[in-house]
Amino acid sequence: MCDTLNTLLSGIARAWAVNDGINLACLVSLKDRHVMNHNLYVKMPENSVSRVLEAPIDEIVCAHLKVLYYLSLEPRDFVLAYRHQSQCVQAVVKMLQQLKEENWCLPIMYTVCLDLRILAQKCEELCSSFKPGEILERAADCLMSCFRVCAADNRSADSGTKRLGMLNLVNQLFKIYFRINKLHLCKPLIRAIDSSAFKDTFPLPEQITYKYFVGRKAMFDSDYKTADEFLSFALKHCPKNFPHNKRLILIYLVPVKMFLGYMPKKYILESYDILQFHDLSEALKEGNVRKFDDVIQRHEYFFIKCGIYLLVEKLKFIVYRNLFKRVYLIKQTHQLDLNAFRSALRFVGEKDMTIDETHCIIANLIFEGKIKGYISHSHNKLVVSKQNPFPPLNTVS
């Protein structure tokens, strides 16, 4: 425990002298127990720090101590704390540039960047004087400064390269971009990781986080096969002692699987308290439009809160596809009167469905490859392929 400021500074000096990045990261972390020590709340620590520490670690520690000071005030001044944490990150960028051919300092970068993001989120929640997302966007710019230094480190040997720190930063940036709804900014980061020689050797926890976010982005881009691959990887490798994280992954993986024609088992949904998807899958399997609409309405808050409401609404076309497949199996002919489909739609709750709207739904299903066939307008019929007219969803999504 750091009883005094000099004790803390001496500990930092010792860790700096032996290149102990992990210990240094703890000593500049806002989650470490030293932040509770009132003796460290110093508004102007420069003189004390300069007597014990050398550049570039002195600037990092000064900024850290100022953050502690502004977080100790009543009420806490999160804005000034955030600004000094930004200076802390900028000082880390200088350190990374000065320590060429070395990467022992990466844990320090991870810690100060994480603290910056968390402080930025606090400012967003508590400060109304900024535009929504403004502070988080500034935080992302700071993190990008670190990312550029790491990505440009091509001279070092693989064991000492700062490129090993890229994925940690990318995950931090993903968390910001998803929160401020700027997913297009993820594309260059994904390209950078995909082209990295270390993409399969980054620490597994970082890979899991990365796959989770890239899977979510693919889902929003309607690339369900990629989303399935990445989210499935995240779920498979997420440790069992993190059930909350597994639940988060499943909230996105389950609807993706539904788009590909795979319906979830009830016991899995029960295990992770997401039974809302069970009612949804039953409606999909039955092709029951009325039941589907009821489920959406009943669980509307859950789907909106999870950010998947619009995605789940798109599943309605699979309900239509499954309903029309039932009509085909009953009629047992490849020339189907469109009035039969309208009657089926009216039977399952679409009371006001017109023949033109029925044409439109079927045309969309044909366009998406969910039905193989064409509409004969002159005969008011859907002519479907004699071979596999309703292809498996995992072959067309």
- How far apart CA 325 and CA 347 sit, in angstroms, is 15
CB 396 within 8 A of CB 369: yes
Judge if 17 and 141 occupy the same domain. Answer: yes
pLDDT the model gives residue 1: 55
The residue out of 155, 180, 205 marking a domain boundary is: 180
Is residue 269 one of the residues assigned to a domain? Answer: no
Is residue 212 one of the residues assigned to a domain? Answer: no
Judge if 285 and 172 occupy the same domain. Answer: no
Contacts of 276 (CB under 8 A, 6+ apart): 295, 299, 302, 303
pLDDT the model gives residue 218: 95
User: What are the backbone angles phi and psi of residue 335, rounded to the nearest 5°?
Assistant: -115, 105
Judge if 310 and 173 occupy the same domain. Answer: no
* Residue whose tokens read 């589907």: 292
Query: In this structure, what CATH number is given to the domain that contains residue 285?
Result: 1.10.10.10
Which among 231, 237, 330 is positioned nearest to 287, based on CA atoms? 330
The residue out of 180, 214, 232 marking a domain boundary is: 180
Judge if 155 and 27 occupy the same domain. Answer: yes
pTM of the model: 0.89
The residue out of 161, 180, 199 marking a domain boundary is: 180
Tell me the mean pLDDT per 10 residues along the chain, length 397. 83 93 94 91 89 92 94 92 96 93 93 96 85 92 95 79 94 96 94 91 95 96 94 96 94 94 92 93 90 93 92 92 90 88 86 87 91 89 89 81
Judge if 173 and 311 occupy the same domain. Answer: no
Is residue 72 one of the residues assigned to a domain? Answer: yes
Neighbours of 21 (CB within 10 A): 20
Is residue 254 one of the residues assigned to a domain? Answer: no
Judge if 32 and 140 occupy the same domain. Answer: yes
Is residue 375 one of the residues assigned to a domain? Answer: yes
Judge if 36 and 146 occupy the same domain. Answer: yes
* Residue whose tokens read 């969910």: 370
Return the SS3 of 178: helix
**Secondary-structure percent of the chain, ordered helix, strand, coil, rounded to 5:** 70, 5, 30
Is residue 88 one of the residues assigned to a domain? Answer: yes
List Cβ<8 Å contacts ≥24 apart for 73-81. 78/119, 78/122, 78/123, 78/126, 78/127, 79/123, 79/127, 81/119
pLDDT the model gives residue 304: 94
pLDDT the model gives residue 184: 93
- Amino acid residing at 360: C
Is residue 274 one of the residues assigned to a domain? Answer: no
Judge if 166 and 298 occupy the same domain. Answer: no
- How far apart CA 114 and CA 11 sit, in angstroms, is 22
- Amino acid residing at 110: Y
Judge if 174 and 304 occupy the same domain. Answer: no
Is residue 159 one of the residues assigned to a domain? Answer: yes
pLDDT the model gives residue 3: 74
DSSP conformational letter for 273: T
Q: Domain of 319?
A: 279-395
Cα end-to-end span (Å), the chain:
57
CB 210 within 8 A of CB 167: yes
- How far apart CA 92 and CA 77 sit, in angstroms, is 23
Number of folded domains that form the chain: 2
